[in-house]
Structure 1
Amino acid sequence: MEKGNRLEGEFYTYLNQMGHVDREWNENVLAYYVPFFSRCGRVLDIGCGEGQFLELLGAEGIDAQGLDIDPGMVERCRQKGLDVVEADLFDYLPRHRETFDGIFCSNLIEHLSAEEAVQFVRLAFDALQEGGVFLIATPNPASLIVHLHEFWRDATHVRPYARHLLEFLLFQAGFREITSGENPRTVWTPSPELQAVPSVLKDLLPRSLDEWRTLMRAEAPLPSPRSFWRRPIVRLRRRAARFLVRTVMFEEFAALNHALSALLSNVQQIERALYSAWANLLLIPREIFAKGIKPSGDEANGAR
């Protein structure tokens, strides 16, 4: 695990150096979680990184301590005057039972296997005082962007965790009053060019049955003067076709017309459903969270 954490630290240092990290955006995302700890006296941020969440809590007058295994991250935090401990959470938490009334971790649990995640949540439960708040934030597996780009670019990510799985882990550990949700500040905003794609695609399909008819009976260009002798034949064929449609094939044409109307309606419904599905996959928030409260007294013992 130590090698994995070193690799992760080097990876995010590289992203910083290449200018791929938007600190202002990250701070805005983390600020969404601050109100959940408004009644807490002492909060532990596990995997605190460069300490942005610690700074946000401090600005609200909340006593906050960070925990990170990466010495580089710990050093950056200490240079800011933040209270941060360099340690592995699996070593640190068992030595600090019932110490905190709030524990936060963002983008950490996806680095753990299922077995490690179960152990971690239970250790967090034990490290909280009665009535303490525990909140986990992690990439949203329901987001197509997370799957195609953000999640697997980090070599130390082990597996994604869905909302219901997070809720289960908290419940199994003994937490109650469990809630979960999406961080609305992590919605992806596509570029203007991509925003225009749905309208462009929509224009490619006929909007009405009349447009379908226009396409189906579009006439070929009139013959050139050199082939003027073909005009009477072409006109005769068209008149014959109209005669057949109006007489012999009237019923068949009516049935075809009805079928085309139904087909166009179905195409439009499918089109709207596809747009909605793609919008849900692309534009839903990229981060989810689950929160639980450690019950008090006998209720806490019964929960375990």
Structure 2
Amino acid sequence: LDYDFLRYMGVEPETQRRIQSHYLPTFAQCKRVLDLGCGDGDFLALLAEHGIEAVGVDFDEKTLQAALAQGLPVVQADVFDYLADAPAERFDGIFCAHLVEHLPYHLVIKLVQEAQRVLQPGGVIVLATPNARSIFSHLEMFYMHFGHISFYHPRLLCFFLEHAGFVNAQEGVNPETASPMLPGVMARQAQNNAGDTLRARLDTLMQYQRQIPLQGNGPIARLSHRVKNSLARWLVQPLQDDLAARTHQALNALAEEVTTQNNELASLNGPFECYAVARKAPA
């Protein structure tokens, strides 16, 4: 059912491989990697292309058929049963993408504890999951899948990992999963000088003509021009300057507020996949 749903939603292997390629450097030095919840084997194929031995585990029969059709080494089993039967220190890398959100927290704790047992000293583990700080995850991604149970903040995953004995736990987001929402916000956010540009436009807007233009060439016209400018300089321009300053100050404050709101929206519009990575302490 899970395989059918992903294909129904238009999730293609090429997309998955592009997303998961972000994690390849983390496993570059590994010799034997375990992929928990491997699906149709996209990450296994990437590892194989880079000469890294790996085995995948998944319970969904149809997804495994797709992996087997590619000649990938996969095992149909419950991940907890597989981990319980696996010898200690069997692997030097574990990849677990989009599995923890299908589990209650006590099983996530059990998962990382078992992972710690089967990893070799110095081995690495990656837990990838929907990003709880991404608006796209909340509005589109997470609640669309029938099997999702809970968001897990990456800092919470780091805590679970270190509580199980892992060290140097770190969190991150996958830039290959940039949110498709709020494209205008992201475009403006990409302009680092957006605030300066807006202020420059305000300065231009607030410029006004300080001299009354001369109308006519005769002596009366020139005399009238001098009188009008004198009156404007002593009576009108102070009021005009004060009004311009107040208006500019108000518009500048508005520009600051727009910039702040733009930054806040951009922070909510981050990549829809986050992860926690940690290592088993060296012997």
1:222 corresponds to: none
Cα offset, 1:157, TM superposition:
0.9
Matched with 2:211 is none
Q: Which residue of 1 aligns with 2:247?
A: 260
Classify the secondary structure of the residue corresponding to 1:285. coil
Matched, 1:99 2:95: no
Q: Are the equivalent residues in 2 in contact too, given 1:49–1:74 (CA < 8 A)?
A: yes
Is the Cα–Cα contact under 8 Å of residues 2 and 60 in structure 2 kept in the other structure? no
DSSP 3-state at the match of 2:56: strand
Instruction: Give CA deviations for 1:70-117 in whole Å, capped at 9, x if unaligned.
Output: 111122222222111111112221111321111110111111111111
Question: 1:168, CA displacement in angstroms?
Answer: 0.7
Percent identity (aligned): 35
Partner of 2:42: 52
Q: Which residue of 2 aligns with 1:27?
A: 17
Report the Cα offset of residue 174 of structure 1: 0.3
Aligned to 1:278: 265
Q: Once the 2 structures are TM-superposed, how far is the Cα of residue 140 of structure 1 from its aligned partner?
A: 1.2
Post-superposition offset of 1:212: 7.8
Instruction: Give me the TM-score of the superposition, normalised by structure 2.
Output: 0.78
Partner of 1:302: none
**Residue 31 of structure 2: aligned partner:** 41
Paired residue secondary structure (2:144): coil
SS at match of 1:33: helix
List 4+ stretches of structure 1 deviating above 4 A: 189-199, 209-214, 253-258
Distance 1:63 1:209 in 2: 62
Deviation at 1:272, TM superposition (A): 1.2
**Aligned equivalent of 2:69:** 79
Tell me, yes or no, if the aligned pair for 1:103 and 1:134 is still in contact at 8 Å: yes
> Once the two structures are superposed, what CA deviation does each residue of 1:11-50 show, in whole Å capped at 9, x if it has no partner?
541341x461133221111111122112222111000000
The corresponding residue for 1:185 is: 176
Which amino acid is the alignment partner of residue 24 of structure 2? V
Q: Which moved more, 1:257-266 or 1:115-124?
A: 257-266
C-alpha separation in 1, matches of 2:178 and 2:187: 18
Matched with 1:220 is none
> Once the two structures are superposed, what CA deviation does each residue of 1:243-280 show, in whole Å capped at 9, x if it has no partner?
9xx58xx87x8766544332111101001111222222
Cα RMSD (Å): 3.3
CA shift for structure 1 position 293: 1.2
Matched, 1:162 2:153: yes
Aligned equivalent of 1:208, options 202, 211, 219 = 202
Counterpart Cα distance in 1 of 2:72 and 2:202: 64
Query: Is the CA contact (8 Å cut-off) linking 1:209 and 1:260 kept in structure 2?
Result: no
* 1:67-146 pair list within 5 angstroms: 67-96=57-86, 97-146=88-137
The 8 Å contact of residues 58 and 75 in structure 2, kept in 1 or not, is answered as yes
Deviations 1:179-227 (CA, angstroms, capped at 9, x unpaired):
222212111356978878999xx9xxx953785899xxxxxxxxxxxxx
* Count, aligned residues: 254
Tell me, yes or no, if the aligned pair for 1:174 and 1:294 is still in contact at 8 Å: yes
Aligned partners of 2:148, 2:84: CA distance in 1, in Å?
A: 24
C-alpha contact 1:209 1:264 (8 A) present in aligned 2: no
What is the distance in 2 between the residues matched to 1:57 and 1:179?
22
For 1:162 and 1:77, the matched residues in 2 are separated by 30
Q: Distance in 2 between matches of 1:195 and 1:118?
A: 36
Structure 2 letter corresponding to 1:28: R
| Conservation of the 8 A alpha-carbon contact between 2:185 and 2:266 | no
- Partner letter of residue 66 of structure 1? G
> Is contact 1:135–1:289 with CA below 8 Å preserved after alignment?
yes
TM-score (norm 1): 0.73
| Equivalent in the alignment of 2:277 | 291
What is the match of residue 227 of structure 2?
Answer: none
Q: Residues of 1 paired with 2:6 and 2:256: CA distance?
A: 43
For 2:40 and 2:63, how far apart are their aligned partners in 1?
Answer: 5
Aligned-partner residue type, residue 277 of structure 1 = E
One of 8, 13, 38 as aligned partner of 2:4: 13
The code of the aligned residue for 2:202 comes to S
Q: Unaligned stretches of 5+ in structure 1?
A: 1-9, 215-242, 298-304
Question: Gapped runs of 5+ residues in structure 2?
Answer: 209-231
